[in-house]
């Protein structure tokens, strides 16, 4: 009721820290579940605490972390990219072609950038809903990947395999990958004017003020297209990582990643309505999902049951976030 003046609440630093009233979203729930899962695994299994399993876990989590960062860039804009899985498949298919590694890598970058451009233009110029635009692209790109390589096979250049599975001074390459993508993701989302504008445009979309960002002179269309290009490039990077791990091309390798990356982003507290989210939440979300898969494998759970548990966790965590509205 507007009759009674309600003074604005004092800054509740705890609530802010936990993401209740901040733009970071609620990220403590995945952290809590990660800690619980780790404790359970430490107590119940012998294999979990080995350094072999730790590096295995990081390598398993890495593709999802990379795709989820790209996915988050478009989700902050109230968008969604369903084509990321196909981009990963296409990337492995391209890398398994005959040719020099440099040409193949350039081809991957070119393909991903074009896919992102088409996604962005379909959304901005043709006013196609992001789900439809990227779903169409998902089919198109998967088709191309399957044309290039109908079944898994071929050989990925040695250099790609080395960059992914090698180690420097005893530190596995995956650690360097992790540092690089997290730094890049932080820079893009939280450490740049571009990132701030992403949140501004997404916040406008979420609160029904679609003209506001534009009125501030932001180049909203250009930023949206760029976001989809970045999402595709992150997906391609994840594809390179996977190609290095399996050392061959596989058109089916990305099939789970579109929904898994959205799941990781949502678990991490990013609002699908746009404008709210934090990189750390997304990373926690991706780590949680990989950790659960790892733990359930160690515990010998059926793959079908694993899917059901993944769904239950998603519902539980997003339900726990209990936000009334964006930012409110």
Partner 1 sequence: MQPAVTMKGVTKHFGSTRAVNDVSFEIHRGRVHALMGENGAGKSTLMKILAGVHRPDAGEITISGRTVAFADPREALAAGVSTVFQELSLLPNLSIAENMFLGKELIGRFGIPNRSEMGRRTAQALSELGMSLDPNTLVSELSIAERQFVEIAHGIKADAQVFILDEPTAALNAADVEILNTQIAKLKAAGKAIIYISHRMDEIFAICDDVTVMKDGTHVATQPLSELSPDGLIALMVGRELSDLFPARAKNTGPVLLSCQALRLSQDSDAISFELRAGEILGLAGLEGQGQSEIVRSLIGQFPAIRGRVAVADQSIGLPLPTEGGVRFMQNLRVGFVPEDRKEEGLLLGAPIAENIGIALQAARPGFRPLARFRDAVKRVMAEMNVKAESSIMPVGALSGGNQQKVLLGRYLAADMDILIIEEPTRGVDIGAKAEIYRLLRALANEGKAIITLSRETVELIGLCDRLLVIHDQRIAAEMAGDDATEHAILNAALTQ
Query: Which residue ranges make up the site for partner 1 (CB under 8 A)?
Result: 1-9, 11, 21-23, 187, 191-193, 196-197, 199-200, 202-204, 206-207, 209, 212-218, 275-276, 325-328
Least separation in angstroms between residue 229's CB and partner 1 is 19
Judged by CB, which is closer to partner 1: 7, or 319?
A: 7
Q: What is the CA radius of gyration of the chain?
A: 20
Cα 293 to the chain's mean position, in Å? 17
Q: Which two structure tokens, joined as six digits, stand for 193?
A: 């004017």
d(CA 11, CA 246): 50
Judged by CB, which is closer to partner 1: 63, or 202?
A: 202
Least separation in angstroms between residue 184's CB and partner 1 is 13
Judged by CB, which is closer to partner 1: 114, or 192?
A: 192
Cα 153 to the chain's mean position, in Å? 26
Cα 34 to the chain's mean position, in Å? 18
Inter-helix orientation angle 257-267/51-76, to 10°: 80
Least separation in angstroms between residue 9's CB and partner 1 is 6
> What is the three-class DSSP state of 201?
helix
DSSP code string of 57-80: HHHHHHHHHHHHHHHHHHHHTT--
- Label residues 14-37 b or e (16+ Cβ within 10 Å = b): eeeebbbbbbbbbbbbbbebbeeb
Using CA atoms, how far residue 161 sits from 106, 174, 241, 248, in Å, is 17, 12, 8, 9
Judged by CB, which is closer to partner 1: 133, or 205?
A: 205
Judged by CB, which is closer to partner 1: 262, or 326?
A: 326
Least separation in angstroms between residue 325's CB and partner 1 is 8
Least separation in angstroms between residue 207's CB and partner 1 is 5
Least separation in angstroms between residue 13's CB and partner 1 is 11
Judged by CB, which is closer to partner 1: 206, or 293?
A: 206
């Amino acid at each position: 009721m507007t009759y009674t003046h309600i003074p604005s609440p004092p800054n509740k630093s705890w609530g802010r820290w936990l993401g209740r009233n901040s733009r970071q979203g609620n990220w403590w729930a995945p952290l809590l579940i990660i800690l619980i899962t780790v404790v359970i695994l430490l107590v119940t299994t012998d294999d979990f605490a080995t350094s072999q399993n730790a590096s295995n876990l990081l390598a398993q989590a890495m593709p999802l972390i990379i795709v989820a960062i790209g996915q988050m860039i478009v989700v902050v804009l109230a968008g969604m990219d369903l084509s990321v899985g196909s981009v990963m498949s296409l990337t492995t298919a391209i890398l398994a072609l005959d040719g020099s590694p440099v040409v193949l890598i350039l081809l991957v970058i070119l393909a991903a950038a074009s896919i992102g451009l088409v996604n962005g233009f379909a959304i901005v110029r043709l006013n196609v809903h992001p789900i439809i635009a990227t779903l169409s692209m998902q089919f198109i790109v998967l088709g191309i990947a399957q044309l290039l390589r109908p079944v898994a096979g071929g050989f990925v250049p040695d250099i790609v395999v080395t960059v992914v599975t090698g180690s420097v001074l005893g530190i596995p390459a995956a650690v360097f990958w992790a540092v690089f993508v997290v730094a890049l993701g932080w820079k893009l989302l939280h450490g740049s004017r571009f990132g701030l504008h992403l949140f501004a445009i997404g916040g406008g979309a979420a609160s029904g003020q679609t003209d506001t960002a534009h009125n501030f002179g932001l180049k909203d269309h250009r930023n949206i297209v760029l976001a989809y290009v970045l999402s595709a490039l992150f997906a391609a990077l994840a594809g390179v990582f996977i190609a290095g791990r399996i050392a061959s091309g596989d058109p089916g390798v990305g099939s789970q990643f579109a929904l898994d990356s959205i799941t990781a982003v949502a678990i991490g507290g990013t609002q699908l309505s746009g404008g709210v989210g934090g990189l750390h939440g997304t990373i926690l979300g991706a780590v949680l999902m990989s950790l659960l898969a790892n733990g359930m494998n160690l515990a010998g759970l059926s793959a079908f049951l694993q899917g059901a548990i993944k769904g239950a966790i998603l519902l539980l965590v997003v339900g726990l976030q209990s936000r009334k509205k964006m930012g409110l």
